[in-house]
């Protein structure tokens, strides 16, 4: 920034907080919209909503003492008259508008009570016969923040663009590639976007679809894609323990299951097995809709690792889910003589010491837990496979941290990442390009789609009646309490209050309660009772969102459904529809619904296909929301918009291949230019 004039220490700090730390950052801080100040317009041709420059003569200026003191100035230019309205003004300003004075004015036209008006326009006095030139380019309007003003940004970008003329930014993309993809060079794209000529297509510029903007978005997306690919290649250079064993053990495991694997499960398992025997670390994402049966597939992979003499770490995002996995695995693996350990943040003191010792000695072959697994003092004897369930709850960095556990002997563990939040290709390419992907695209047989309705919470009495009838028939139900605040204590309070009310309203039913603030033992006791059918109605917070598996539960009520993300609602709803009975889900909302909320709830009523839901969610809300805030750190784009620019993805892939093959030396510079410090996170 020292190359730019007029940026003192205070401005530097403010700009830095706004993400602008270098001349290049100034250049990449693109205008949000543009104003056409290149032509003087006749007043007679103006319409409400126009933003225009006019040259006019003052007819009359007067102070009006109405509800607010204001200065009204009537001006005209021979084609018509217009009223300027100021609420803040000083004596000097008022005197400047003497009758007959010439002024150049810029502002937004709106309809006034008597004639067209401009409120607080920008203006300059013109001398008697002055013929002042208008701007030669469209005026860029930059996104601003507190303490960083429009004019300051415009001056900075003027300087940065001038610097660009003398010391051009290097063009890392070869001319042949740019030609092929019909992209302009970086320099002219930047110049154009900051200072478009008067005849520029304003609509395209404001929509962000102008070729000059697309050129920049393209390179940014390319940089992200390349960075993930580089991460991937670095991992490929590492070695991993080939896991050859386990066929006999696996057959015993599968034979003991009460069901046969679906064709999709078998296919994905074969893909995993194929990866695991390689001497490079597997990095595979398994996507499968809620209830598609990812857990058994993971268990089968774990068996292969254990039978090959390695340890397996399985990480789940919530205590409840981790515990459920622990129980499942302990049961399945108990018969196979595989030692399964449990580790969460709540395991402390001596028990924790025991688990850590068992992991270090190798006595514990499988460990299941929460993020407590990647703390520093957890040491494995030979970690061969890391399984991460419901990846969307974790950040990329946590994933890497756990993988690094197995590094001591220059071997990386294999990685299996499972998610029920389907990732549209758009996002996958930008966020998961470092992973191979498998999809379990088939549900276990006999599943009946959940019947979903949306009701205003004014009809709560009806809903309660519905719960009563379902439970009378021997079915079980969930009542999910949600709040918009992430405050866990408020959520838990809401669940407790609701449980009290429902116990009163449904005194013949056995009502249980689970939330995150309860003691583990109590929580588990309640879940067990629900699982055994000793609780009819389970009142819960969203702790039950992922993983919980109770097939007899066939009715779910979700409160404040309009406030949850579609993916989250889909996850929640996935808790029912697991048994033989027709299940239903009631989405209760607080009326009135906004148009967007109405559309979103409609998506859930219309489809139970997680991929379709994710696609619609992406359309309705954008990628940050779909992936959850934890992962958006990875995909903070400055210019590109994954949704708007998804058509560029094919070109991005093409270009990435081309660069890798013909000018590998450009790859790092492109990544560095766009991701800067962020690129280092991906480092291995």
159-169 core/surface letters (b: 16 or more CB in 10 A; e: else): bbbebbeeeee
Size of the site for ligand ADP (CB under 6 A): 16
Q: Is 291 in the site for ligand ADP (CB under 6 A)?
A: yes
59-67, 292-300, 362-370, 407-415 -> range binding ligand ADP (CB under 6 A):
292-300
Measured in whole angstroms, the distance separating CA 461 from the mean position of its chain's CA atoms is: 36
> From the CB of 548, what's the least distance to ligand ADP, in Å?
9
What SS3 string covers 220-273? HHHHHHHHHHHHHHHHHHCECCCCCCCHHHHHHHHHHCCCCCCHHHHHHHHHHH
Query: Please, what is the Cα angle at 254 between 248 and 257, to 5 degrees?
Result: 145
In the complex with Mg ion, the residue whose CB is nearer, 547 or 577, is: 547
In sequence order, which residues have a C-beta less than 8 Å from that of residue 589 and are 6 or more positions away?
454, 455, 456, 457, 560, 561, 562, 597, 601
291 binds, among Mg ion, ligand ADP, none (CB under 5 to 8 A by kind): ligand ADP
3-11, 361-369, 514-522, 540-548 -> range binding Mg ion (CB under 5 A):
540-548
Q: At 299, is the secondary structure helix, strand, or coil? A: helix
Q: Which residue's Cβ lies closest to ligand ADP?
A: 293
288 binds, among Mg ion, ligand ADP, none (CB under 5 to 8 A by kind): ligand ADP
In the complex with Mg ion, the residue whose CB is nearer, 442 or 641, is: 442
Could you count the other beta carbons within 10 Å of the beta carbon of residue 458? 10
Q: Restricting to residues 515-574, which ones interact with ligand ADP according to CB under 6 A?
A: 549
259 binds, among ligand ADP, Mg ion, none (CB under 5 to 8 A by kind): ligand ADP
> From the CB of 23, what's the least distance to ligand ADP, in Å?
49
Which of 288, 384, 406, 577 is close enough to bind ligand ADP by CB under 6 A?
A: 288
588 in Cβ contact with 480 (< 8 Å)? no
Q: How far is CA 459 from CA 273, 443, 453, 509, 606, in A?
A: 52, 33, 12, 20, 22
Q: Is 547 in the site for Mg ion (CB under 5 A)?
A: yes
Q: At 614, is the secondary structure helix, strand, or coil? A: helix
553 in Cβ contact with 536 (< 8 Å)? no
265 binds, among ligand ADP, Mg ion, none (CB under 5 to 8 A by kind): ligand ADP
Alpha carbon distance 4, 20 (integer Å):
12
Tokens of 194: 């900051």
What residue has token string 């309203």? 505
Which of 284, 294, 405, 515 is close enough to bind ligand ADP by CB under 6 A?
A: 294
> From the CB of 405, what's the least distance to ligand ADP, in Å?
24
Adjacent-strand bridge partners of 436: 284
73-81, 159-167, 294-302, 670-678 -> range binding ligand ADP (CB under 6 A):
294-302
In the complex with ligand ADP, the residue whose CB is nearer, 291 or 422, is: 291
> From the CB of 290, what's the least distance to Mg ion, in Å?
8
Site string for ligand ADP, 250-269 (x = CB under 6 A): ---------x-xx--x----
In a 13 Å sphere around the CA of 617, the CA atoms on its Cβ side amount to: 27
H-helix or E-strand containing 125?
strand 122-126
Alpha carbon distance 123, 127 (integer Å):
13
Q: Is 59 in the site for ligand ADP (CB under 6 A)?
A: no
673 in Cβ contact with 223 (< 8 Å)? yes
Cis peptide before 592 (omega within 30 of 0): yes
Size of the site for Mg ion (CB under 5 A): 1
In the complex with ligand ADP, the residue whose CB is nearer, 378 or 569, is: 569
Site string for ligand ADP, 412-451 (x = CB under 6 A): --------x-----------------------x-------
As to burial, measured by CB atoms within 10 angstroms (0-12 exposed, 13-18 middle, 19+ buried), residue 392 is buried
287-295, 315-323, 471-479, 612-620 -> range binding ligand ADP (CB under 6 A):
287-295
183-191, 213-221, 284-292, 607-615 -> range binding ligand ADP (CB under 6 A):
284-292
Q: Which residue's Cβ lies closest to Mg ion?
A: 547
75-83, 191-199, 286-294, 428-436 -> range binding ligand ADP (CB under 6 A):
286-294
Alpha carbon distance 467, 469 (integer Å):
5
Which of 227, 273, 287, 295 is close enough to bind ligand ADP by CB under 6 A?
A: 295
Report H helices in 483-628: 488-505, 520-531, 566-573, 595-606, 610-621, 623-627
116-124, 312-320, 544-552, 626-634 -> range binding Mg ion (CB under 5 A):
544-552
In the complex with ligand ADP, the residue whose CB is nearer, 187 or 447, is: 447
Which residues form the interface with ligand ADP (CB under 6 A)? 259, 261-262, 265, 288, 290-296, 420, 444, 549, 578
Q: Residues interacting with Mg ion, by CB under 5 A?
A: 547
């Amino acid at each position: 920034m020292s190359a730019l004039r007029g940026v003192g220490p205070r401005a530097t700090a403010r700009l830095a907080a706004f993400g602008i730390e270098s001349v290049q950052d100034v250049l990449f801080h693109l205008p949000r919209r543009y104003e056409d100040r290149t032509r003087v317009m006749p007043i007679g041709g103006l319409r409400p909503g126009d933003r225009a420059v006019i040259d006019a003569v003052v007819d009359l200026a007067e102070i009006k003492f109405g509800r607010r003191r204001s200065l009204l100035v009537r001006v005209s230019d021979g084609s018509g008259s217009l009223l300027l309205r100021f609420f803040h003004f000083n004596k000097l300003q008022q005197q400047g508008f003497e009758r007959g004075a010439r002024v150049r004015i810029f502002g937004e036209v709106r309809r006034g009570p008597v004639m067209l008006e401009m409120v607080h326009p920008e203006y300059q006095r013109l001398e008697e016969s002055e013929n002042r030139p208008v701007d030669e380019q469209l005026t860029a309007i930059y996104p601003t923040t507190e303490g960083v003003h429009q004019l300051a940004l415009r001056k900075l970008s003027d300087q940065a663009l001038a610097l660009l003329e003398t010391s051009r930014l290097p063009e890392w993309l070869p001319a042949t590639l740019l030609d092929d993809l019909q992209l302009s060079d970086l320099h002219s794209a930047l110049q154009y976007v900051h200072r478009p000529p008067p005849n520029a297509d304003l609509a395209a510029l404001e929509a962000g679809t102008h070729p000059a903007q697309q050129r920049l978005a393209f390179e940014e997306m390319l940089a992200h894609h390349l960075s993930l690919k580089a991460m991937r290649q670095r991992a490929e250079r590492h070695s991993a323990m080939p896991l050859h064993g386990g066929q006999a053990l696996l057959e015993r495991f599968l034979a003991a299951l009460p069901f046969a694997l679906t064709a999709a499960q078998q296919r994905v398992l074969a893909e995993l097995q194929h990866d695991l025997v390689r001497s490079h670390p597997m990095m595979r994402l398994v996507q499968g809709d809620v209830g598609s049966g990812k857990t058994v597939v993971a268990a089968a992979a774990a068996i292969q690792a254990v039978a090959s003499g390695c340890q397996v770490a399985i990480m789940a995002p919530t205590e409840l889910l981790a515990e459920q996995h622990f129980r499942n695995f302990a049961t399945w693996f108990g018969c196979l003589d595989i030692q399964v350990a449990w580790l969460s943040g709540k395991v402390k003191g001596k028990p924790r010491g025991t688990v850590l010792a068992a992991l270090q000695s190798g006595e514990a072959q499988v460990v299941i837990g929460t993020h407590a697994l990647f703390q520093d003092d957890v040491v494995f004897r030979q970690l061969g496979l890391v399984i991460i369930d419901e990846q969307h709850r974790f950040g990329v960095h946590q994933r890497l941290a756990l993988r690094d556990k197995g590094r001591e002997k220059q071997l990386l563990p294999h990685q299996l990442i499972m998610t029920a939040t389907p990732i549209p290709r758009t996002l996958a390419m930008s966020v998961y390009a470092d992973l191979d992907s498998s999809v379990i695209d088939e549900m276990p047989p006999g599943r009946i789609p959940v019947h979903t309705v949306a009701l205003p919470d004014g009809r709560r009495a009806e809903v309660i009646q519905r719960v009563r009838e379902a439970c009378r028939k021997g079915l079980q139900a969930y009542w999910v309490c949600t709040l918009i605040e992430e405050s866990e204590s408020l959520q838990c309070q809401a669940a407790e209050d609701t449980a009290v009310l429902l116990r009163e309203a449904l005194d013949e039913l056995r009502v249980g309660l689970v939330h995150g603030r309860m003691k583990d033992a109590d929580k588990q006791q309640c879940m067990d009772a629900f699982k055994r059918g000793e609780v009819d109605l389970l009142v819960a917070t969203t702790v039950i969102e992922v993983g919980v598996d109770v097939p007899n539960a066939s009715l779910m009520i979700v409160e404040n459904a309009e406030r949850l993300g579609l993916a989250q609602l889909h996850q929640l709803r996935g808790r029912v529809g697991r048994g033989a009975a027709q299940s239903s889900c009631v989405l209760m909302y607080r009326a009135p619904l906004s148009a967007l909320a109405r559309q979103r709830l409609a998506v859930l009523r219309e489809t139970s296909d997680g991929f379709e839901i994710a696609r619609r969610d992406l359309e309705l809300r954008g990628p940050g929301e779909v992936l959850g805030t934890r992962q958006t750190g990875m995909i903070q784009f400055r210019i590109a918009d994954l949704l708007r620019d998804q058509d560029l993805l094919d070109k991005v892939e093409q270009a990435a291949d081309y660069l890798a093959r013909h000018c590998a030396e450009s790859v790092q510079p492109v990544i560095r230019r766009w991701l800067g410090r962020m690129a280092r996170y991906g480092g291995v």
